[in-house]
Amino acid sequence: MGFRTSHHLAAPTGAALSQGLRPARLLRLGLFIYDHLGGRKLLPATKTLDMRTDPAGAPLQPLYTGAFEYSDCWVNDARMVVLAARDAADRGATIRTRTAVVAAHRDDGHWALTTRNVLTGATETVQARLLVNAAGPRVDTVLSQTLGQNSAGQCAWSSGSHIVVKKLYEHDRCYMFQNADGRIIFAIPYETDFTLIGTTDQDYFGDPKDVRISDSEIDYLTKAATEYFAKPVAPDDIVWSYSGVRPLYDDGASKAQEATRDYVLKTSGGSGEAPLINVIGGKLTTFRRPAETTLTKVEALIGAKGAAWTRHAKLPGGDFPATGFAEAVAALKQSHPFLDSAYATRLVRLYGTRAGILLGAARSCDELGVHFGADLYEAEVRYLVEYEWAVTSRDILWRRTKRGLLGDAIRIAELDQFLAALSAPTSREQKLA
């Protein structure tokens, strides 16, 4: 939520850079351009560190004597996605999670879509003046299987995997390392008690739902981290791993690493035929840019016009100053004095000012309801079900909060039972059915 500064230690220098000063000079030049091209206002300027005296050098092998530090912003990608959906719902959109579009065809100037709820099996037919295919890695699948078109083959896939280990250092800065193969990996403080190491980048040809980290990727990431950190990182140290599929516009690049990360919009229909806009590629962190561009196309196709508005729009809960995170935590603690600093910080980081809605009028942890272990209480679970479409314990522990990293500290079976009871129809609902 809000603005967060992330200090990156770029390419530690020393014995590892055996080509002399040129790599360091090139990096210094790049960071100089980085400082001045973006019109930096809030972030600190880049600087050079002596890793023999700076605390950032302590976790590394002693052969690295210098580093360049720059500052950037960071975002919790899962939170950004769900909050974008919450924002849309608050503005009048209908959000249908766990609903598949199983068929779609043009019908008398409109789209006729058949949807199916994957939990209940219920189907519904919906009409639309225009259809936007923003299915990410499944853009081609929607085109070929759902729409029955032959224009698939525009999307290439790249998989990226990450590993999470117990935290390797105490400070809050990130590391960026360059491997011998020229690729970059990061080591980033993660969920307070862990370090995130990633990412890999390779062509992917399977089903996106089946993507998993491979043994070779685990070997690659652990060896790359071990090359830099004083404490070796072994496969047995991994507490969690995750993988994802990046949708890339197939521009003919021979490798996933060389494919463009930009987005492409392709439109068909119009002149009496219901329009279709395919959104191919793009990056999650810049999602508002393709969204605005897509909306401009929508307006042109349906004959409407509105002003761009998202540049300064805040996501739900982000209504505090860009540098006001600490103040937001203090305000939550003041309104709910029973919160300790760690719990209040986590709640503000995930929910921003909406943490007050989650906590309600509670005056103690006991008033937050059932305790599922660690700092997860019934109040948060109910909030996630009501406002963020959570259905399963996996939704809550991994897709919303990452409390799953705490392992046995969370009583998952008890949480599953609670969610089942919460979703069960009441006797009145059963009579009405």
| 196 token code pair | 């995130």
User: Which residues are CB-contacts of 53 (< 8 A; sequence separation ≥ 6)?
Assistant: none
pLDDT in tens, 18-65: 333 345 666 667 777 777 676 677 888 888 889 999 999 999 998 888
pLDDT in tens, 131-158: 999 999 999 999 999 998 877 667 888 9
Q: Which helix (H) or strand (E) holds 298?
A: helix 288-302
For residues 49 and 67, give the distance between their C-alpha atoms in angstroms, rounded to a whole number.
5
pLDDT of residue 9: 59
For residues 392 and 426, give the distance between their C-alpha atoms in angstroms, rounded to a whole number.
19
Mean pLDDT over 336-356 rounds to 97
For residues 269 and 282, give the distance between their C-alpha atoms in angstroms, rounded to a whole number.
23
Listing DSSP states for 32-67 in one string gives HHHHHHTT-SSSPPPEEEETTTSGGGTTB-TTEEEE
Lowest mean pLDDT among 12-21, 223-232, 268-277, 384-393: 12-21
Beta pairing class for 155-166 and 110-117: unpaired
pLDDT of residue 41: 77
Lowest mean pLDDT among 10-14, 65-69, 188-192: 10-14
Lowest mean pLDDT among 139-153, 174-188, 202-216, 383-397: 139-153
pLDDT in tens, 67-89: 888 888 888 999 999 999 999 99
The mean pLDDT of the chain is: 88
Q: Is 192 left (phi over 0), alpha (psi -120 to 50) or beta?
A: left
pLDDT of residue 10: 54
Residue 379 near residue 358, CB atoms below 8 Å = yes
pLDDT of residue 20: 35
pLDDT in tens, 267-317: 988 778 999 999 999 888 889 999 999 999 999 998 888 888 888 899 999
**Which whole-number Å values give the CA distances from 429 to 13, 118, 422, in the listed order?**
66, 21, 13
Mean pLDDT over 390-416 rounds to 97
| 318 token code pair | 């982000």
| 232 token code pair | 């070796």
Instruction: Give me the residues paired with residue 114 across strands.
Output: 103, 125
Percent of the chain surpassing pLDDT 90: 64
Mean pLDDT over 350-371 rounds to 98
Model confidence band, residue 221 (pLDDT cutoffs 50, 70, 90): very high
Q: Is 195 left (phi over 0), alpha (psi -120 to 50) or beta?
A: beta
Q: Which CATH class is domain 325-427?
A: mainly alpha
pLDDT of residue 2: 34
Residue type, 91: R
| 423 token code pair | 């979703």
The domains of the chain are located at: 78-154+257-312, 325-427
Model confidence band, residue 426 (pLDDT cutoffs 50, 70, 90): low
Percent of the chain surpassing pLDDT 70: 88
pLDDT of residue 212: 96
pLDDT of residue 6: 55
Residue 433: pLDDT over 50:
no
Residue 372: pLDDT over 90:
yes
Domain spanning 78-154+257-312: CATH superfamily = FAD/NAD(P)-binding domain (3.50.50.60)
